[in-house]
Amino acid sequence: MELTAIKGFKDILPDEVGHWQRLESIARSLLGSYGFQEIKTPVMEYMELFSRGIGQETDIVSKEMYTLHDSRGRGMTLRPEATASVVRAYVQHRLDQKGPIQKLFSIGPMFRHERPQKGRFRQFHQINAEMFGDAGPKSDADIIVMAVHLFEMIGISDLTLNLNSLGCPECRPRFREELSCYLKDLSGSLCPDCQRRAVTNPLRVFDCKVESCGNAVINAPSVVEFLCGACVDHFESLKEYLGDAGVEFTLNHRLVRGLDYYNRTTFEIQTNRLGAQNAVAGGGRYDGLVRLLSGPDQPAIGFAVGMERVIALLEEGGRSETKTPGLFIAGMGDEAERLCFKWAAELRRSGIWVEMDYAQRGLKSQMKKAGRIGARKVLIIGGDELARGKALLKDMDAKEQHEIEINNIIEILKKVLNKND
Ligand code: HAM
């Protein structure tokens, strides 16, 4: 059988990696300027973390988790998202005691057993940001402005910010009840999953991809009509902050998001360039999750960016610039080659990209190789040059060459090469 990568798991090849590095580096620098610190959690966690945290009725938990069992039969799951893991780490290490506000970000792979299609993979990567310790609308606005700012810095502008409020434990039960009643009358047109959800978790019907379920909720009651006074005030204030920051948004009262932990603010940043998989980032407030996972009563809000989708948008603008070696060292003859090997190691130690030939071939084929890999300069040294204490430095663009002294050659090369970098 031919060995290939697993379906839905994808290689990121060297000529694609430039955009990934740029995206990560912009994210690290921007999140740092908003006071976020990096956290790295394991890719595998006990299954209950996700079933409890994300919600039993969600597609992620009910259908999409990669779970295996340890020798005692305890389920261990490849993380389908980062929020539950970051909350687990926050609780386990008592990070709330390090300061009232904790801002944490992480970058890494997530795993969901979904049907692969354009923009949807079984292993995908997220940039994930979570902020703990503040319940007010200003932190919602700060997080959303940061997400928008990230896309501005990456250079993607044709995006829409969708915004909603899902209410709180005070007001959401009334909405749930109303929605459940509404769905009961339409039960015949719902898929079997949604017939069950209509009773156990009616908000999840909004996520269902089955056409008749989508049609059934078109005239469903809207969550905003049920918000309590405090939730309305919170939402209004958030909108004002966003207005002050010059961030445009679209109200979308059907935006329930596919995870159960949200309350009040939810948001999604969408593109119309990727077909059905149009969300490039999504997030919201989840004030009850830390408590639900046995932690202190701390409010929180966060979001995650889908990196593959962002890269797909960037790739429409062309592949990222590829780097080329600063120097190729072509040595001929045993003694010269050994010297070249030593010099290459020394120059690489100071961060200069140096290439050489591994096969002890003649000058012609070494020059051919230097040209093929795009080396900007070539250092040539054979028996004659060695005897004269000189080497030849050739500039491949200017097609010029001059001799340099072997004595002190490392310092001379460092100067010449750094000047050109
Ligand atoms: P999510 O909406 O499930 O939220 O995922 C966030 C983003 O990850 C999506 O907008 C999308 O860009 C990307 N994504 C999700 N699934 C896939 C997939 N199968 N293939 C490619 N990209 C995908 C969360 O994960 C929440 N934990 C976000 C959050 C953080 N909420 C609060 N804090």
Q: What pLDDT is recorded for position 419?
A: 61
What distances in angstroms separate CA 369 from CA 108, 340, 353, 381, 392, one per listed residue? 36, 16, 15, 16, 17
Q: Does the pLDDT of residue 327 top 70, yes or no?
A: yes
Q: What pLDDT is recorded for position 209?
A: 82
pLDDT single digits (tens) 185-213: 888 999 998 999 899 889 989 888 889 99
Q: Which has the minimum average pLDDT: 51-55, 225-229, 316-320? A: 316-320
Q: For residues 110 and 18, what is the distance between their CA atoms, to the nearest angstrom?
A: 21
Q: Which has the minimum average pLDDT: 58-67, 171-180, 200-209, 350-359? A: 200-209
- Mean pLDDT, rounded, of the chain: 95
**Which of 31, 81, 146 has the most ligand 1 atoms within 8 A of CB, as the residue to mutate?**
81
Q: Does the pLDDT of residue 152 top 70, yes or no?
A: yes
Atom 2, ligand 1: residue with shortest CA distance? 282
Q: What percent of the chain has pLDDT over 70?
A: 99
Atom 13, ligand 1: residue with shortest CA distance? 306
pLDDT-derived band at 77, boundaries 50, 70, 90: very high
pLDDT-derived band at 80, boundaries 50, 70, 90: very high
Q: How far is the CA of 398 from the centre of ligand 1 (A)?
A: 49
Residue 344 or 418, more confident = 344
Radius of gyration of the chain (CA): 28
**Which of 105, 110, 166 has the most ligand 1 atoms within 8 A of CB, as the residue to mutate?**
110
Atom 16, ligand 1: residue with shortest CA distance? 120
pLDDT-derived band at 321, boundaries 50, 70, 90: confident
CB 128 within 8 A of CB 170: no
Q: Does the pLDDT of residue 420 top 70, yes or no?
A: no
Q: How far is the CA of 282 from the centre of ligand 1 (A)?
A: 6
What is the average per-residue pLDDT within 161-185? 94
Known binding-site residue numbers: 81-83, 112, 126, 130, 257, 261-262
What distances in angstroms separate CA 145 from CA 85, 132, 302, one per listed residue? 24, 17, 12
What distances in angstroms separate CA 84 from CA 4, 50, 80, 112, one per listed residue? 31, 6, 9, 15
What distances in angstroms separate CA 117 from CA 2, 174, 259, 269, one per listed residue? 22, 37, 21, 20
Q: For residues 238 and 144, what is the distance between their CA atoms, to the nearest angstrom?
A: 10
* Residue of 270, 49, 38 lying closest to 164 (CA atoms): 270
Q: For residues 313 and 322, what is the distance between their CA atoms, to the nearest angstrom?
A: 18
Map out the domains of the chain with their CATH numbers. Answer: 17-171+227-315 (3.30.930.10), 327-415 (3.40.50.800)
pTM for the structure as a whole:
0.92
Ligand 1 atom index nearest CA of 114: 19
pLDDT-derived band at 300, boundaries 50, 70, 90: very high
DSSP string, 321-332: PPP--SEEEEE-
Which residues does ligand 1 sit against, CB inside 6 Å?
Answer: 81-83, 112, 114, 120-121, 124, 126, 128, 130, 258-259, 279-284, 286, 302-304, 306, 308-309
What is the average per-residue pLDDT within 232-255? 96
Known binding-site residue numbers for L-histidine: 81-83, 112, 126, 130, 257, 261-262
CB 85 within 8 A of CB 79: yes
Strand partners, 395: 377, 400
